[in-house]
Structure 1
Amino acid sequence: MVRRGDERGVTVQIGAVLLLAIVFSAFALYQINAVPAENERVEFAHNQEVHDELQTLRNAIQNVGTGGGTQSTAVTLGTQYPSRTLATNPPAPTGRLETTGTANITVDARADTDSEYDGNPDNLTGDHETTTLAYTPDYREYGSAPTTRIEHGFAFNDFDDAQVTLTEQPLLSDGTIRLVVLEGELSESGGGAITLDPTALSGPSDAVPIEPASGNNHVTISIPTAAPTAWNDTIGTTFADGESGARVAGYDNDRSLLTLELNETYDKLQVARVGIGDGGTKTDEYDVHRSDDGDDGGGAYDVGWNLSRIEAENDRVSCTSDRCTFEAAGVGDTATMSVETTPSVDDATVEYAVSNSGVGRVDPTSGTIQNGDHQTELEARANGTVTVFASSGGDGDRVPVDIVLGSGSSPLFGVTIDGTNSPVTEGETLSVTATVENNGSDAGTQNVTLETDGQRRDAASVTLQPGESTQVTLEWSTTDGDAGEYTALVASGDDEATTGVTIESAGGPSVDSFTTEQRPGNNVGIRYSWAVSSTDAELDTVTVELYRDGTYVDERTAAVSGTSASRNNEEFSNLGSGQEYTLELTVTDVNGNSATATRTQVAG
């Protein structure tokens, strides 16, 4: 009898090989798909953190520029990926913070020389050399991260195709031009944190009365900028839009120079120079202060924290002569902070800032003083010390607050974003799923909201017992025109979390840029430039129509092809000097789809 060999050992070996192959395949898929996705979330979270830090740096520069002295702040240039036992990470992401070279801000006006001053008020008008700051991340996965810029106190994110503002522009407010010029050179790169110490080098001056220069109808300011659209959207193109009493009069593409015109509302000018990086040299150029007893020079007043009132209005706050202690019930607890002016003033803008937003933050960050006082709320975020700043007019004050967190007796609703269905196409519904957990000792009910770039999209009421958690899904029904990159924020009354989402275009042409300026030379007119593109069809025509007070004047039509096109320095000539015109651009593709953009420009 012939016996067959036992094949069971061969079967076991084959099974082991197949199992090993499955393990290696799963590991490879994790390395290829999961690791990059997790690292992108780490990079996005860092990008949000550094935005907050750069806003704090911006606030420090402005506070020093209006109140003098020095203020320290930190910026974390890069981050670290989580350590992994088996999978490997790419090199840790880094970033660069640097000055962008020097250029002149020009204030074309005549300063008050009828009053007596210590210092020369003529130093405040004319050319002022300045620089700007730019932070550029070097991420491995989050490829669409913006460059964050601080230009003349205005902070914004500069994406490839759009600018998203982070702060209000501080240059114009309350009838006063407050110019803080930046001096120094800075170039720091790496993955760690750096400390910056903005320091007053000259001024701030008193707010000196000004008027249009001889032969001019308006005070004008020429501003070097890498993002004219951001300024245009904030200030507006007429005296009634955006910042009342000011308008964008034009943009010189060749010199990257934006021109602002101001009406009689803006009749005072204050200037200071602040050092950054290698510092610069202290001078008395902007140390311009009234020496007579007149009461019409600059409307100067002192600003200070009212510590006795802060203590009296908050049961858990105690203050000495120069600092306060806030014994907060828990994260999210708030204390009312009161500021006052001497003498009492009305209708003046006050701005608030903090030295460490991880310990405490203020809301609102600005407001209008009435009857000599104003209030903001300080929210406790962690144990530690935070300095709270207030600035208005030519003065400012600061107070350190020691925050001590208690166990808390109120519900503390923590928020964690679990995921989204991003990207979606215009017209589809974006969904964001988040977990909400009651970390407090009491039951409670709170509204949990979804916002994208500051606009409320959805809300849900959540009731939780102590220690209980629940998952909520919030939605945004997008429409045509919503395409773009957004920051989605899910917030309870105590906590918030953010993530990046993408709304993709449904197709059709788009206007990528459309800028206007006064025509140079003797022939009065308007010069314009544009760039257009299309994602799914050939372009056909671009038409620019010119209107005066709603009445058609002229038009220019260009035949275009391909998926992108642009024109520079096109013109309408023989127009009325000083008259305001409306230019409407319409781009059409071969399928008949169209997009429009409108600009207002004064002919010159």
Structure 2
Amino acid sequence: MFGLVMLLLASLQATAVPIWNEDIEFRHDGEVRSSVGDVHDDIVELSTRRADRSNTVELGVRYPTRPFLLNPPDANGRLRTLPNGTVTLSNATAAGEAGDYFDGTDRSFVTRTVAYEADYSEYRSAPRYLIDNGGLIEQHEGADLARSDPMLVDGTRINLVLVHGSLSRSGVRDASVMTRAGSPSADATAVSNESSPVGITVPTAAGQSYWESALGDELASAGGYVTSIRVTAGEPYNTLRLELRPNVTYRLRTAQVSVGGDRADGAPEYLTRGETTGTTAVGEHREVEYVVRDRFSNPVADVDVEAAVVDGPGELVAANDTSDDDGTVRYRYVSDRAGTATVRATFGSAPGALETAEQSIAVHSGSESTDGCRFPRWTAADPTVRLTNAQEGCAWSGVESVDGVSLSDPNLTSLTGANEEFDPKRQYFRLGFTVESGDTAYYVAVTRTTDLASDVVDLDGLTRSYGGSWSNTNVQVYRRVGDQAFELRGEGALSSSALEEWYQRTRSVDLLDQAAYGSGNPGVDELRSFTSGRTVTIRFLEFHGATTVTAA
């Protein structure tokens, strides 16, 4: 009997125990795939927003105790960052001050690949997991499989996700992995090259077949922009070289994320103009913005910037001359005479071209009308007027057959409420006007009114948050039904795409065109029917910001 028991135990040891242990190892591999995937997802998320994330990876396997049976030593796993590798962007040129930095010469950055592998006793074909250039890769003997969508090139978008830090964990215990946003990318930089291919060179632990498969849809032969994919073998990395079609504008995002170490905050590298451009009127305050950026073209906070009018009329008053979380500094410009002013901003002890940015401001005087408004006369021959902050109560008569009221060349302002306090996160635009003919009057509120009981001038304000998010986009059309009574005839929300094109000055937005509204606005059809073929008077009752208005 004893011999039979020993024979049975020997059989279990030789056949069953390896099978049991392989099953444990296989299930652990699935858990690790998920955990490393969570770390990958954190890196991708923190490449676009400033935050910290923590995840746990169970590194290895402890085999259960089995009476009278023997187990191999615990299976250790290892999670680590591979050595530094160099990312290079070639032949990429940007416009404006960004062109001082992206000037077509090579721009190089440092990154690392995160790798996990386990030393299993039985599951010998277990893959290695890689977080490589923003992608999650399952690496088998002779085959690399994509476990996430590739990020490096997506249409005309170039996404360089750089990993900073040193991580080395091994054993069987749980390992805590801290991921921190070092330099998240909130905005893209437009880069191009008219004659030469834009080149991207990155270190990679993957091979040629992986990248050809991952970027197959991006190839020029498939309707994309990648003309060449070439991987050169090397140690500790292979080198991937991509070439992209010339004479195409690409949207470049470069972000740095720290894994397993301290956050590497970006140092200030160069200065650009902010989102405020255009003209102003004599005596009117106008906001002037500059943005401090790091070597990845992302905003840098807490940098002192100096600005002054170096040519032309006017002066600056600092609103905040230390960059905020969006890297932005703001000033108020005002002039007591017409002309063109040059405003120059710098940072650092010895500013050069990278640390300097300039913008011009055209100041017009306008002409006095009988109601005290400083605007050019609005006539049928020239149905266009430039409106600037807080110049209200202005009327124009004799405007003939209006089929559209188009707004173009805008300046939004960060002044809010009666105290005119700056809000560094949002910009506003308010517009309220009546259209009158005979005893009939309509009132248009951009955006929605909060009270029409007496004065038709209480507006919430069209709002744009930093990065291009729009709110308070409703436009309301009222018709006067009594001395101080108005009836809502229709309302609708302007579409974010129409507003962003207006803001970026690529297209005007017509308040009487249904195409400007996401779901239409029945009030504008009624108003356009009223104005078409009539001579009307347009009176602006509230205005905050600046824009050119065309009624034709």
TM-score interval, smaller chain: 0.3 to 0.5
Task: Return the structure number with greater relative CO, CA threshold 8 A, min gap 6.
Answer: 2
> Greater strand share, 1 or 2?
1
Pick the structure with greater CA Rg. 2
